[in-house]
Amino acid sequence: MQKSKKVLLLGHFGVGKTSLIRRFVSDSFSDAYKVTIGVHITKKVVDLPSGTNLSMILWDLEGTDELHLIRNAYLMGTHGVIFVFDVTRPATFQNIQRDLDIIKEKVKKAPVLIVGNKMDLVDPADVKRLLDENDIDSDYLTSAKTGDEVNEAFLEMASQLDA
C-alpha cells in the first residue's frame, strides 16, 4: 500500500534540521552552514515492515526562536512533527514545554517526536544530566554528522504515521 505523509521539522535556528534531513535522505553531511529561508521540501520513500510504502514529504522550515510566528499556512495538513533542539545550546531547549504547547495547539492530532541533535559534540553523560535538570524527555538523541540515531528517529515517525 502506498501512502504520502507531510512531516514538518521545527526548531530554533541552527539546530541541524536541514542536516538531519540531508543525512536521512541522501546519507551525507556538510559542515558549511546555510540558513534555510522559508521552506525547503524533500522526499524519502520508506518501506515499512507492515508492507506500506510511505512517502515522507519532509518540510524543512526555517528556524525560529518564536514558534508562534511560523506561518499557519505551512502547518496546515501536517501529519507529523519532528521538533529538533541542539544539545550544545540550552537556549534551544530551555523553553521546550512552551514550544511543544505551541506546536500541539497549531498542529492538533499529529504525532510529535522530540530530537536532540549534535550529540557528536558533547559527552552523553553531560547531556543526560542537562536534560534531567531541565526535565526534558527527548525521544532521540542524534548526530547528523555521524548519522547516529538519525534513521531511527525518522523511521519511528514513519511507523507512527502508518499506524
Partner 1 sequence: MMNERERLEVLKDILFTDDRHYVDKITERIVQLEQILHDRNKLSGKVDPIVSAQIEEFTKNIPSTLGPVITATLKDEIKHHKDDVVDALYPILGKMIKKYIAQEMKMLSEKIDDQFSFVKSAKRKMQSVFGNVKEEDLLLSELSMAKIEQVFLIEHDSGILKAGFSKTETIDEEMISGMLTAIKSFVEDAFNKRSQSLELIEYELYQIHIQSFVTHYVAVVISGNYLTRSKNKVQDLIFNFYNKYMAMNLDLVMDLGMGNGEDDEPVTRLEIEKEIAKYFGNAKI
| Region 31-50 residues binding partner 1, contact defined as CB under 8 A | 38-39, 41-43
Query: 117: closest CA among 94, 88, 137?
Result: 88
Instruction: Select the span of 53-61, 87-95, 128-136, 143-151 touching partner 1 (CB under 8 A).
Output: 53-61
In sequence order, the β-bridge partners of residue 80 are: 7
Closer Cβ to partner 1, 2 or 125, answer by number: 2
Q: Which of 36, 53, 57, 120 binds partner 1 (CB under 8 A)?
A: 57
Q: How far is the CB of 72 from partner 1 (least distance, A)?
A: 7
Using CB under 8 A as the binding rule, whether residue 51 contacts partner 1 is answered as no
Closer Cβ to partner 1, 39 or 112, answer by number: 39
Using CB under 8 A as the binding rule, whether residue 59 contacts partner 1 is answered as yes
Closer Cβ to partner 1, 76 or 121, answer by number: 76
Query: 152: closest CA among 140, 163, 143, 162?
Result: 140
Torsion of CA 48, 74, 63, 6, to 10 degrees: 0
Closer Cβ to partner 1, 5 or 118, answer by number: 5
Q: Which of 68, 71, 98, 129 binds partner 1 (CB under 8 A)?
A: 71
Please tell me the total number of residues recorded for the chain in this structure: 163
CA atoms of 128 and 71, how far apart (whole Å): 33
**141-158 burial, b if ≥16 CB within 10 A, otherwise e?**
bbbbbebbbbeebbbbbb
DSSP helix/strand/coil, 27: coil
Q: How far is CA 38 from the centre of its chain?
A: 16
Q: What are the residues binding partner 1 (CB under 8 A)?
A: 2, 4-6, 38-39, 41-43, 55, 57, 59, 71-74, 76-79
